[in-house]
A and B are shown apart, each in its own frame.
Chain A
Amino acid sequence: MVLKTEVCRFSGGKIYPGRGIRFIRADSQVFLFINSKCKRYFHNRLKPSKLTWTALYRKQHKKDIHAETVKRRRKTTTKTYSRSIVGASLEVIQKKRSEKTEVRAAAREAALREIKERIKKTKDEKRAKKVEAVSKSAKAVPKGAMGKGAMPKGPKLGGGGGKR
């Protein structure tokens, strides 16, 4: 047994099989009415959107929408993305996601410390180099002229090359 309930075109009510009136207009449009009340109103050209008991009116004036929206909110859940991105494979992402905050903080501190040490190192190295250079130039004063002469030649040549 096929039990298909149709919908009344006027009131929006369910029409069970065996009930209702089917009206076919000259332009081949089919109208289903659940009872002669709806049919009468339709033929008297009354608008369902102006009659408070019809489904169309209720939809327009937003009745019973709160319950629907509450239901929808309950259903929606945030989906966590589980796809690999360029630069970080799926395993890497999952590993990072499963890390605890303490572990992350510790890792961050460690990284910062590393960077600081590196900066320190480079600074020290630079200072040492400067000191060496100064001391070298101080020692090699007689040769310094040649050296100094050689030194400026370097950059000049480079400059000459660049100009070309």
Chain B
Amino acid sequence: MNKTRLARLGDTIIASVKEVVGRGKVKKGEVVYCVVVRARMPRARSDGSEVRFDDNAAVIINKQGEPIGTRIMGPVCHELRRRKMVKVLSLAEHVA
């Protein structure tokens, strides 16, 4: 992974599940891969502008980059297109 150990928008991270809502595919305490889709930390865009979201959010994915879940809530960042996470983008309700 990233040597600086800092995840930004669009980065893939390894996380452990702390809280589960309902009976999902993931259980509490599991170690999963996720991709950061929203971050409060501003990220520079190629045209020079900055993007920042209102909250921090990640989507749990498998090793191939496909989301485990069936729905994605809230907006999602553009950076995923560069990472070729097409499925995440298609499931998202809004790509910013």
Contacts and interface: CB of A to CB of B under 8 A. Distances in A.
25 contacts: A15-B49, A17-B47, A17-B48, A18-B49, A19-B49, A20-B49, A20-B50, A21-B49, A21-B52, A22-B49, A22-B50, A22-B51, A22-B96, A23-B53, A23-B54, A24-B38, A24-B51, A24-B52, A24-B75, A24-B96, A25-B54, A26-B55, A28-B74, A28-B96, A30-B96
A20 B38 CA distance: 19
Interface residues of B, number: 17
B94 interface: yes
Contacts of B69: none
A21 B42 CA distance: 9
B48 A28 contact: no
Nearest to B50: A21
Given A21-B42, A21-B52, A26 B47 contact: no
Contact of B48 (A18, A25, A30): A18
A24 B92 CA distance: 14
Contact of A24 (B45, B47, B54, B93): B54
Contacts of B53: 23-26
Interface in A9-46: 15, 17-26, 28, 30
A30 B74 CA distance: 12
A150 to B, nearest CB: 102
Contacts of B74: 26, 28
Nearest to B95: A28
Query: Which one of A19, A22, A25 has the greatest number of beta carbons of chain B within 10 Å?
Result: A22
